Amino acid sequence: MRFTHETLPQRVVFAAGESPAAVAAEVEALGGSRVMLIASDREKELADPIAKEIPVVLRHDEVVMHVPVEVARRARQAAAAADADILVSVGGGSTTGLAKAVAMTTGLPIVAVPTTYAGSEATNVWGLTEGDTKTTGVDNGVLPASVVYDAGLLTTLPGAMTVASGLNAMAHCVDSMWGPRADPLDRALAQEGIRALATGLPAVADDSTSVEGIEQTLYGAYLAAVAFASAGSGMHHKICHVLGGMFNLPHAQTHAVVLPYVLAFNAPHAPEAEARIAEALGAVFDTQAAGAGLAALRQVLDAPKALRDYGMPEDGIAKAVGPIMKAVPANNPTPLTDENLTALLEAAWAGDPID
């Protein structure tokens, strides 16, 4: 066995119901005295108790999905004008993504407080959208220095968003099985992440206030993101990033729809990955195959089913094929062609049953 694995440096705090004190402690430990607090209007009530405990010099609420470059530019200008020396983000992937965009050019440390299961807080991946093109990259400078997970902040997350966001985390796990830099440690982390998500998500879907279920799901989402940061972005994420930027599709729902189609596409040529995924899902559902286990989970969760339901035009399929072909890593388990990619996108657009 020979491989190289890089573990990213980050402090992670699980503190159910204690995020204000926990965030204040992280800000102090990082030497922050002038906080730029990034939280959308939707997250205001969750951010207010945190704001009371930290030295905020600016509250910034312009958060937009996929982080348009002009939104990032205004946030960077606001950080400079306020002379901020640390960033605190309270929100989902778009909020964390905006904090990363500011950190990328300012070098300011981030304390991330997730309110979804997006996982961006545990990766060094950034994304910016210009026009209809979303560009992603890797920069250790955007990795949050600290993450505070507070299950209490997710008890009001709508059920549909919980499902989509949790399946987005599941997609991190699946892509980590065959990403361009995937190694045995990534696969082990991803396998445990799948098990935890498959355990936690049904509990939260049944009772959105279940702190135990939320914590299990957060644990799985964190493992998923750590594995993904190391393994790199595989076919699934390349598809979703192209579609999301090109058609302004909702991030989590797009991932939730595309995931079973990519799993079915790659599993026949990735037997070790398929076996790990099957084992993790089989520990929760009485299934023998990865696809069957994912289908059982999706049925319990009433998962998003079709890209057309979220605004993707049918004629966009042909437009997306070329950019996706260029983006997917060369070592994808199943060789990609215009024809089989088109068939996959057509099935995901329509929500066709998977054989």
Q: Which CATH number fits domain 159-350: 3.40.50.1390, 3.90.1150.200, 3.20.20.70, 1.20.1090.10?
A: 1.20.1090.10
Read off the pLDDT of each residue in 263-278 and give the average, rounded to a whole number.
Answer: 96
pTM: 0.90
Mean pLDDT, the chain, rounded, equals 94
Q: Could you tell me the residue ranges of all domains in the chain?
A: 11-154, 159-350
Per-residue pLDDT tens digits for 51-87: 999 999 999 999 998 899 999 999 999 999 999 999 9
Both structure tokens of 77: 């200008």
Phi-psi group of 123: left, alpha or beta (phi > 0 → left; psi -120 to 50 → alpha; rest → beta): beta
Per-residue pLDDT tens digits for 210-253: 999 999 999 999 999 999 999 999 999 999 999 998 999 998 99
Report the C-alpha gap between 346 and 15 in whole angstroms. Answer: 43
> Which pLDDT value is given to residue 50?
98
Read off the pLDDT of each residue in 27-54 and give the average, rounded to a whole number.
Answer: 97
The dihedral built from the CA positions of residue 311, 317, 318 and 322, taken in this order, carries a sign that is positive
Percent of the chain scored above 70 by pLDDT?
100
CATH 3.40.50.1970 fits 11-154, yes or no: yes
Picking from 304, 309, 298, 307, the residue whose alpha carbon sits closest to that of residue 345 is: 307
> Which pLDDT value is given to residue 162?
92
> Which pLDDT value is given to residue 131?
86
Per-residue pLDDT tens digits for 122-144: 999 999 989 878 888 899 999 99
Asked whether residue 355 carries a pLDDT value surpassing 80, the answer given is: no
